[in-house]
Amino acid sequence: MGVLVGATVAIAQPAPQGPGLNAPAGKSVQSARQAGKPDFTSLGDAALTPNPQVARGVLVDPLQWPATLISQPSGCTATFVGSRVILTAAHCVGHNQPVTAHIRGRTRNAVCEHHPNYSAEFDNKRTDANWDKTSADYAICLVDAGDAVTGVKFGVIGAGPDLVKKNAAVRLLGFGCSGDAISPDGYGVLRTAAAKVVEVPTAARPNNNYIITDWQGSESFKDAVGGALCPGDSGGAVYWPFSNTGRRIVGVNSRTQTKGDQAQTLTGISYLSSTLTPTATSFLVNWAALNNVEICGITAGAQDCRQ
């Protein structure tokens, strides 16, 4: 895929690149978003034009992902994980800032909150010392009580820090570019692909929330071969297992790695902010309790969750 997230408007300029944390010499890691104010639209409400030119990803039916939102014009993705709860990446939205989400024929108002560890100051200055500031790339948005969504099966957040292991395959989903380099090609078309997990958060690095994936080694998934994030993919949910049966959200699309060349060729390495870590789980649990809302997979008895 160079895969994932976007909008039906012209592609914006990518965020500035910076030296990537643990990236090989000459490589860079950058945010997988496009510049602009986010306003999200559900796939069922968006007018998307299919594009048959797909590389490293396969087209999927947007109606099979009713809780997934695309942004216009920021180029980020988001997911409803409860009737009043939207999950996305922190770098996609402002802290304590409003967004709108159009779903089921209505525009809903929401206010987003960043994980307290996250700081945009370090987005392009990644080092081990500020790993926690960049990898806590979570935002949760509270939809107004009068705008609660019904008639949708919401995404379910997985439980347990060991749910996803090294060498597992996760499902990437989004609307970004379709090739092996950052470009507008395929932007705004929903695709999915597998990616092999090469690194997971460990107790030895408690501040690290990143699941790191590589598009190499995913060839066994036939047409949905290895994918990677591109600008425009940020904020979209990462799913495990790769099959649609019992799929759970295990992360948020955060960053991608390029070779640092003029063509902005993707290396195939992606950085996914895990929603399974204690850092993420405590944030979601406390936020749900404070706002008296249900989050599928987090709150006992949550309603309308995808099985």
Domains, the chain, with CATH or none: 1-301 (2.40.10.120)
Q: What is the pLDDT of residue 176?
A: 52
Give yes or no for residue 7 having a pLDDT over 80: no
Average pLDDT (204-213) is 85
What is the C-alpha separation between 69 and 235, in angstroms, rounded? 10
- Token duo for residue 300: 């006992």
Angle subtended at Cα 35 by Cα 19 and Cα 56, rounded to the nearest 5 degrees:
70
What is the C-alpha separation between 100 and 235, in angstroms, rounded? 15
DSSP one-letter code for 17:
P
Q: How confident is the model at residue 141 (pLDDT cuts 50, 70, 90)?
A: very high
Rounded to two decimals, what is the model's pTM?
0.81
Q: 13-56: per-residue pLDDT in tens?
A: 233 232 233 344 445 555 555 544 447 888 666 544 333 222 34
3-state DSSP assignment of residue 278: helix
List, in sequence order, the alpha helices (H) in 101-238.
Answer: 131-135
Q: Higher pLDDT residue, 280 or 181?
A: 280
Q: What is the pLDDT of residue 55?
A: 30
Q: 73-116: per-residue pLDDT in tens?
A: 556 889 999 999 999 999 889 999 999 999 998 999 999 999 99
Select the highest-mean-pLDDT range: 4-18, 117-131, 137-151, 172-186: 137-151
Residue 179, Ramachandran bin (φ over 0: left; ψ between -120 and 50: alpha; else beta)? beta
What is the C-alpha separation between 154 and 174, in angstroms, rounded? 17
Q: How confident is the model at residue 269 (pLDDT cuts 50, 70, 90)?
A: confident
DSSP one-letter code for 236:
-
* Mean pLDDT over each residue of the chain, to the nearest integer: 75
Q: Higher pLDDT residue, 20 or 261?
A: 261
Average pLDDT (141-157) is 97
Q: What is the pLDDT of residue 287?
A: 98
Q: What is the pLDDT of residue 209?
A: 93
What is the C-alpha separation between 213 and 27, in angstroms, rounded? 16
Q: What is the pLDDT of residue 305?
A: 97
3-state DSSP assignment of residue 71: strand
